[in-house]
Structure 1
Amino acid sequence: MRTVDPAKHQARRRHILNAATGLFAAKGYERTTTAEICRAAGISAGNLFHYFPNKRAIFVAVLGEEDPDRAERLARAREADDPLPALMDLVDYLAAPAVEPVVPALVMEAMVQAYRDPELEALLSRGNADEHAAIAALLTRAAASGRIDPGLDPDSTATWIMALIASVFTSAATSPGFDPAEELPTLRLILTRFLEARPRGS
């Protein structure tokens, strides 16, 4: 019996996902065919289905692959000595993928498909929940230490911060003149001024 080389298997799988990612971002999920993915990856249909049973499985795998450092980054942020710089660093980290050419369009497509697919929506929500929890924890600590306005509700404020980060991706996908790299400093400035501690009675 022929044995499977795990490293080669993973490399071929990654190659297929890379090819599919560009197509999903450029054409959307619905208009991308498995035949196009095969051509882009330079493989036969039979070879493709050896790795993925269908197009949906490929799309889910594309969206489900996480930065291997993500969990560590979230944990490190939550444990930082000074929560406010850690919060801003975390915002930078979460918004940074928006500068990559295919990511904003892929995020938009994920949002569309998640609306139609409860399983996909649940997959994306798990990641968002981890990020939301890390941001809320940092806000709680920053408020307790007087670094930000203590009147801000951590959970609600974390939701708004997540929405602002998401808007970087949607703007990059829908507005040709929007340059995420140029706008990220503005995002930091908006958050800094929104969060800053206010004198009592103001």
Structure 2
Amino acid sequence: MSTTEKRHIDPDRALVRRKQVLDAAAACFGRSGFHGASMAEISKAAGMSAGHIYNYFDSKDAIIAAFVEQNVERVSQLMRDLEQQADPLQSMVDDAPRHVREHLDPNTWPLALEISAEAARNPKIAEVVRDADVRARVQFRAILKSSRERHGLAVDSDTLDGLLDAMISLFQGLDVRVVHNPNVNEPALARYMGIAMKAMLFS
């Protein structure tokens, strides 16, 4: 497709097509890994030609970058919702079971691990992942600061930095945990995650 033709792609149709490619890529990456899944495999799963896919994504790196951006938008919405709660700290504790369930969902964690693995060896993907992390941490840090101030808790930089990374690590670690123990006792895990979160958030 020429550059002129690309300019005339219907935006709504392009969004549908991009989602079609991303859904197919998520399935392929989960099944074959980032390097094992070829553009030909992705195009077949998406029901379109490889050439057609390149109209929306220049490479597999671009597809991973799109997944990262999708997650940024998801996290950003979660943060906006959290800000609206009467007590964001307590809401995080109360919502621990739901977040644990989401992280243990076999439809989500394989892709998250693939992206992390690729970021560990691919500087371009590492840059995308780290930029996304910075944006998420800025939003989360602001919520933690204002919420802890309302409870009369410490909000110095060391406290907020340590708490922020500890909270994020708790949930990022679930993706690895379910690989090592696919039969994890989810209710018990959620209960103790809540206990750990309460101990950190209110200390």
TM-score, normalised to structure 2, is 0.78
In structure 1, the partner of 2:191 is 185
Quick check: 144-153 or 158-167, which moved more? 144-153
Deviation at 1:113, TM superposition (A): 0.8
In structure 2, the partner of 1:28 is 33
Query: What is the distance in 1 between the residues matched to 2:64 and 2:193?
Result: 30
CA deviations over 1:76-131 (Å, ceiling 9, x no partner): 43464424224436767765541432321111111111112222222222332233
CA deviations over 1:135-168 (Å, ceiling 9, x no partner): 4334333443446577981211111111111111
> What one-letter code is carried by the residue in structure 2 that aligns with 1:124?
V
What is the Cα-based RMSD across aligned positions, in Å?
3.1
Q: Is the counterpart of residue 19 in structure 1 residue 24 in structure 2? A: yes
8 Å contact kept, 1:78–1:137? no
- Equivalent residue runs for 1:7-156 within 5 Å: 7-66=12-71, 68=73, 70-78=75-83, 80-88=85-93, 97-146=102-151, 153-156=159-162
8 Å contact kept, 1:34–1:45? yes
Task: Name the one with the larger helix percent.
Answer: 2
SS of equivalent residue, structure 1 residue 139: helix
Query: What is the distance in 2 between the residues matched to 1:17 and 1:84?
Result: 34
Query: What is the distance in 1 between the residues matched to 2:13 and 2:138?
Result: 37
Query: What is the distance in 1 between the residues matched to 2:139 and 2:25?
Result: 31
C-alpha distance 123-76 of structure 1, shift in aligned 2 (>3 A): same
5+ residue gaps, structure 2, are none
8 Å contact kept, 2:96–2:190? no
Quick check: 4-13 or 179-188, which moved more? 179-188
8 Å contact kept, 2:97–2:191? no
Query: What is the distance in 2 between the residues matched to 1:58 and 1:180?
Result: 31
> What one-letter code is carried by the residue in structure 2 that aligns with 1:10?
L
8 Å contact kept, 1:77–1:86? yes
C-alpha distance 49-142 of structure 1, shift in aligned 2 (>3 A): closer
C-alpha distance 87-141 of structure 1, shift in aligned 2 (>3 A): farther
8 Å contact kept, 1:87–1:138? no
5+ residue gaps, structure 1, are 198-202
8 Å contact kept, 2:43–2:53? yes
Q: Is the counterpart of residue 162 in structure 1 residue 168 in structure 2? A: yes
8 Å contact kept, 1:114–1:121? yes
- Equivalent position to 1:172, from 158, 171, 178: 178
> What one-letter code is carried by the residue in structure 2 that aligns with 1:26?
R
SS of equivalent residue, structure 1 residue 66: helix
8 Å contact kept, 2:103–2:175? yes
Query: What is the distance in 2 between the residues matched to 1:13 and 1:139?
Result: 35
C-alpha distance 88-126 of structure 1, shift in aligned 2 (>3 A): farther
